[in-house]
Amino acid sequence: MKKNDGNSGWSGQAGGIGGLRRIWRAGVYSRDGLIAAFRHEAAFRQELLLIIPLLPLALWLPASGPGKALMLASLLLVLIVELLNSAIEAVVDRISTERHPLAKRAKDLGSAAVLIALLNVPVVWLLVLFG
């Protein structure tokens, strides 16, 4: 068995309990993050309410397999970017609640990323459906 050199990303027990335990913990942390986003982030809840009916619609609409995948991916991208934006905001607020130009910039950049992800949805859907 290869010794862990710190670069492989696996413990010395690759595929053993250490690796499985790490995967389990990562899943638990991800679940906790989704629960926290739903409980504490109004924007995440609003986007989720918008996206939930669009997911089956994307599968129902007459599009190719790759087109449907693009439409679904555009929706999931919104949630991914919102989660990252919320993480940035939490870190900025954890560091300091005082107003600072860099804190404002970080939060504004995260918000802009969410806006672009949201604008991407109708663009992708229109291109897929009407080419």
| Active-site amino acid positions | 82
d(CA 8, CA 131): 44
The CA-based angle 111-96-45, given to 5 degrees, is 35
d(CA 100, CA 56): 43
How many residues does this entry show for the chain? 131
Q: Give the other-Cβ count within 10 Å of 38's Cβ.
A: 11
d(CA 82, CA 88): 10
Q: Are 43 and 84 in contact (CB under 8 A)?
A: no
